[in-house]
Amino acid sequence: MQTTHRIPRSALLGLALLAAACGGGDHNPTGPGGGLTGTWTLVGINEDGLPESEPYNFGTADFQSGTLRLSQDGQWEMTINYDHLEQNESRQLEDYGQYGRDDEDLSFASEAYGDHIEGGVDDGYVYMIYDFDGDGAYETEFTFER
């Protein structure tokens, strides 16, 4: 049996405040990243911590890890590692393209799949709402932190 870990919003706020107090990172406000450039680590799926199992139209995905890299020139690359439980296979989703920022809103244009993905910045986290199973419905929220 898999244990599901929930990340309380108060804990997320506390971590964000701690990160802000510590400083560091890229604080260059120019370009699409506006201080977001660098590598972000997947920490949550649909507001739950990792590992996390979610049902989809193809079966159950057990999310293990992932990264999101945001470049100063507006490029993004994402890798999500998960296990397809019914087929007992480890798999990897890779996506990439261009991104833009408007205040706290982010938009990602996927060059791999042709999707337009909405996301944002919230309390020091970057998130995106993704069509993980390819059915046209954006049902999966990936949350990343530095």
pLDDT tens by residue, 41-94:
999 999 999 999 999 999 999 999 999 999 999 999 999 999 999 999 999 999
Confidence at residue 144, expressed as pLDDT on a 0 to 100 scale = 98
Q: For residues 3 and 19, give the distance between their C-alpha atoms in angstroms, rounded to a whole number.
A: 27
Residue 80 or residue 16, greater confidence: 80
Say if strands 116-122 and 59-70 run parallel, antiparallel, or are unpaired: unpaired
Confidence at residue 18, expressed as pLDDT on a 0 to 100 scale = 40
Query: H helices within the chain, ranges in order?
Result: 9-22
Question: Does the pLDDT at position 21 exceed 60?
Answer: no
Question: Does the pLDDT at position 32 exceed 60?
Answer: no
Say if strands 116-122 and 105-110 run parallel, antiparallel, or are unpaired: antiparallel
Q: For residues 64 and 66, give the distance between their C-alpha atoms in angstroms, rounded to a whole number.
A: 7
Could you read off the pLDDT of 91-122 as tens digits, one per residue?
A: 999 999 999 999 999 999 999 999 999 999 99
Confidence at residue 137, expressed as pLDDT on a 0 to 100 scale = 95
* Domain architecture of the chain: domains with CATH: 9-24+31-145 (2.40.128.300)
